[in-house]
């Protein structure tokens, strides 16, 4: 079965620390990849997406992600986190031949200490 | 900006009741989705709709049904609510143009079944 795995359930960092959140998926075909963020009390928002081309994609608020096809991975990174980055982060995969359906990972809760 | 509106932020119902969750989007999107979000499980797809009067089962459709009589509205129905349906329910919509169109989410309805 298709699945998306986020390795960390809860990450705690101090401000200015670097962030990397892991995401791996199991699907052998072409995919589109997304990272969504959910700030406390708010709706899910798109951080960034990979469709094709350059495997390093940049999103909003200084986030970036790298698609490594051979590793079936799409890890999210930020060089220096801020307290306002405290949120839950979801990786999602859209298999090419399944319309608009997304398969979500379990989510990673990020807590940034001021 | 896309607006996806869910009729209630919080809802409390009793076991055995028929429950309706409503979702409206204002961007003439073809695709609409219902998820439930549970801690440690991420978002799981209940039902989705590619267009008016079209619906398809997602990964966890048991105990739920949906209705899409108008393009802008997608209703989730719990036929006979049970305590294991206590959860956060998220609605999303998506423009069916191009493969990389993201889903846009509502604020969610936190449903408690007593």
Query: Mind listing the pLDDT tens digit for each residue in A77-109?
Result: 999 999 999 999 999 999 887 777 899 999 999
pLDDT at A96: 81
pLDDT at B44: 95
Interface test with A, best of B29, B50, B100, B108 (most A CBs within 10 A): B100
pLDDT at A77: 98
pLDDT at A99: 72
How would you label A6-15 residue by residue, b for 16+ Cβ within 10 Å and e otherwise? beeeebebee
Task: Looking at the structure, give the CATH architecture of the domain made up of residues A3-10+17-100.
Answer: Sandwich (2.60)
CB contact (8 A) between residue A99 and residue B50: yes
pLDDT at A100: 79
User: pLDDT of chain A along its 114 residues, tens only?
Assistant: 789 999 889 999 999 999 999 999 998 888 899 999 999 989 999 999 998 899 999 999 999 999 999 999 999 999 999 999 999 999 999 988 777 789 999 999 999 998
Domain spans, chain A: 3-10+17-100
Chain B residues with CB under 8 Å of A87 CB are none
Rg (CA), chain A: 14
pLDDT at B77: 98
Average pLDDT over every residue of B7-31: 95
**What tens digit of pLDDT does each residue of B87-113 get?**
999 999 998 877 678 899 999 999 999
**What tens digit of pLDDT does each residue of B53-91 get?**
999 999 999 999 999 999 999 999 999 999 999 999 999
- Which residue has tokens 């995401």? A23
pLDDT at A95: 87
Q: How far apart are CA A13 and CA A111, in angstroms?
A: 6
pLDDT at A97: 75
Chain B residues with CB under 8 Å of A31 CB are none
Is the pLDDT at B1 greater than 80? The verdict is: no
Q: Which chain B residue lies closest to A46 (C-alpha atoms)?
A: B102
Give all domains of chain B, ordered by start, each with its CATH number: 4-97+104-113 (2.60.40.10)
Establish, for the pair of chains A and B, how many residue pairs have beta carbons separated by less than 8 Å. Answer: 59
pLDDT at B60: 95
Q: How confident is the model at residue B14 (pLDDT cuts 50, 70, 90)?
A: very high
pLDDT at A82: 97
The closest alpha carbon to A80, from A67, A66, A65, A61, belongs to A61
Asked whether the beta carbons of B75 and B20 are under 8 A apart, the reply is yes
């Amino acid at each position: 079965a298709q699945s998306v795995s986020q390795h960390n359930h809860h990450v705690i960092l101090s401000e200015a620390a670097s962030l990397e959140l892991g995401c791996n998926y199991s699907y052998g075909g072409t995919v589109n990849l997304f990272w969504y963020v959910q700030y406390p009390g708010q709706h899910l928002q798109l951080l960034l997406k990979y469709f094709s081309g350059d495997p390093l994609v940049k999103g909003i608020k200084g986030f970036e992600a790298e698609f490594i096809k051979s590793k079936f991975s799409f890890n999210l990174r930020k060089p220096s986190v801020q307290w306002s980055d405290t949120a839950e982060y979801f990786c999602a995969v859209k298999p090419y031949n399944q319309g608009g359906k997304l398969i979500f990972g379990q989510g990673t809760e990020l807590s940034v200490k001021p | 900006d896309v607006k996806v509106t869910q009729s209630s932020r919080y809802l409390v119902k009793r076991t055995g009741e028929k429950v309706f969750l409503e979702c409206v989007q204002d961007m003439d999107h073809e695709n609409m989705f219902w998820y439930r979000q549970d801690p440690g499980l991420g978002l799981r797809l209940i039902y989705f709709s590619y267009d008016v009067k079209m619906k398809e089962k997602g990964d966890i459709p048991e105990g739920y049904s949906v209705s899409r009589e108008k393009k802008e509205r997608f209703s989730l129905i719990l036929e006979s609510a049970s305590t294991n349906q206590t959860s956060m329910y998220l609605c999303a919509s998506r423009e069916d143009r191009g493969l990389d169109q993201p889903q846009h989410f509502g604020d969610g309805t936190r449903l408690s079944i007593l």
